[in-house]
Amino acid sequence: MTVVGIRPRSVRGEVGAPPSKSYTHRALVVGHLSRRQYRVLHPLDSEDTRATAKAIEALGSRVRRSADEWVVSPGPDREGTAPCSIDCGESGTTLRFASALAAASGRRVRLSGRGRLPGRPMAPLWRALGAMGARTRSLGARGKTLPVTIEGPIDGADVAVEASESSQFASALLLIAPVLERSTVLRLEGRVVSEPYLDATLSVLTSSRIHVRRSGRRFEVEGRQRYQGRRFAVPGDASSAAYLWTAGALAGGPVRVRGIPRDRPQADLAVLDLFRASGAVVREGRRGISVSAGARHRPFSIDLTRAPDLYPLAGVLAAATPGRCRLRGAPHIVLKESDRRAGTERLVAALGGRCRRTRSGLEIEGRAELPGFVLEHEDDHRLVMSAAVAALAASSPSRLGDADAVRKSFPGFWRALVALGAEGPRR
């Protein structure tokens, strides 16, 4: 782990948005299922997206990577061929999508992972795949879901999937359903979390001229469809931009981020409403979206069930706000790469705030001036980036956790901060 030091510094300027991790994952799956050469334009090159690229390569596709496009060349039908193994790294999206792809391949596929991934929720997806004909066998120790073997083939069916722990279970099934022989009816059960990510999946399917009939929590997908088109342009990522905008909201600004279209659903665009509620100034225009600090921070209350990745950032904003803020919903954040509710509590405490757990989430009492702090053992990418933007607005230098953690989702994070006027991180 490389501990990084951050000095306080005002930031302002304009940067382009990094590509979306969520859409890169989905485009790679579409390329693999398209049965023709498929170009993923402006992909995000990160640890998680490389894990998905390697997963589809294990299942028969070839991925040629260059700076501005990844070209997916699907291989021949591999049904009935030799078993294979997929290392999903620490990527939950890769694990969920690769599970569905493995079941549809007809091969016996062994999936493994590292970090917290072996303990993350998978049972709802595996039950649904089982109802479609797959056989799964967990090889993990007690309390661990990985390694696991999955063997198909599967076919369309009427299936239900619990959606209260992850929307990725439903997304994985929706991506694979069109290429099955029979139609699939998918019903969501429980409280649906992270729903905008499900909307992103539907947006990608629509771009590929895949027909899905939706009625509330019920989805009907005809079988024997073909993914149409030969390319997908990955949009700029609101999730990564949220950290840069937060730097503007806390440390002066304005910070403008270009390249985030409004025609692609993105859960973390909800951060703009959070900024407005907290007193920051948000301006949207043709050149991008800018955020700057307002005259004062206002207490806010926000439900993060639809945008759980914003939890640590919301905690930072609350810590910088005199008064009581409330973070509600998103109970599944404890099941992410780390327990992000506990991580948010640590971050708020380091910033001089006070946290209290409630039945619905966290109540946070913030303060007008943030102290310098030490959080040297954090290695969750979203907690590290949230801590870094808070450190820009602190009253003295700070030291925080693994500088390389950002490679998971936003490899260019430190360069973007420097472009906005921050000092380079001191290692």
Convert the pLDDT of each residue in 189-240 to its tens digit: 999 999 999 999 999 999 999 999 999 999 999 999 999 999 999 999 999 9
Q: Quick one: pLDDT band at residue 1, thresholds 50, 70, 90?
A: low
Angle of helix 168-176 relative to helix 195-207, nearest 10 degrees? 20
Q: What is the mean pLDDT of residues 11-39?
A: 97
- Integer CA distances (angstroms), 184 to 168, 180, 213, in order: 17, 8, 11
Give the Cα separation of 77 and 89 in Å (integer): 26
Give the Cα separation of 407 and 1 in Å (integer): 13
Flag whether pLDDT at 377 surpasses 90.
Answer: no
User: Domain 3-18+236-419 belongs to what topology?
Assistant: UDP-n-acetylglucosamine1-carboxyvinyl-transferase; Chain (3.65.10)
Give the Cα separation of 214 and 218 in Å (integer): 6
Q: Quick one: pLDDT band at residue 79, thresholds 50, 70, 90?
A: very low
Flag whether pLDDT at 111 surpasses 70.
Answer: yes
**The pLDDT of residue 139:** 84
- Asked whether the beta carbons of 17 and 259 are under 8 A apart, the reply is yes
- Locate 209 and state its tokens: 């001229």
Domain span(s) for CATH 3.65.10.10 in the chain: 3-18+236-419, 21-233
**The pLDDT of residue 220:** 98
The one catalytic residue in 237, 268, 309, 380 is 309
- Asked whether the beta carbons of 272 and 260 are under 8 A apart, the reply is no
Give the Cα separation of 152 and 132 in Å (integer): 9
- Asked whether the beta carbons of 87 and 54 are under 8 A apart, the reply is yes
Rg (CA), the chain: 21
Q: What is the mean pLDDT of residues 76-102?
A: 87
Give the Cα separation of 66 and 334 in Å (integer): 36
CB atoms within 10 A of CB 62: 13
Flag whether pLDDT at 78 surpasses 60.
Answer: no
Angle of helix 340-350 relative to helix 381-392, nearest 10 degrees? 20
Q: Quick one: pLDDT band at residue 4, thresholds 50, 70, 90?
A: confident
Q: What is the mean pLDDT of residues 174-182?
A: 98
Flag whether pLDDT at 80 surpasses 70.
Answer: no
Give the Cα separation of 51 and 45 in Å (integer): 10
Q: What is the mean pLDDT of residues 35-64?
A: 97
- Asked whether the beta carbons of 92 and 118 are under 8 A apart, the reply is no
Residue 68 is among the residues annotated as catalytic for this protein: no
- Locate 25 and state its tokens: 């994952």
Please state the φ and ψ torsions of residue 198, each to the nearest 5 degrees.
Answer: -65, -40
User: Domain 21-233 belongs to what topology?
Assistant: UDP-n-acetylglucosamine1-carboxyvinyl-transferase; Chain (3.65.10)
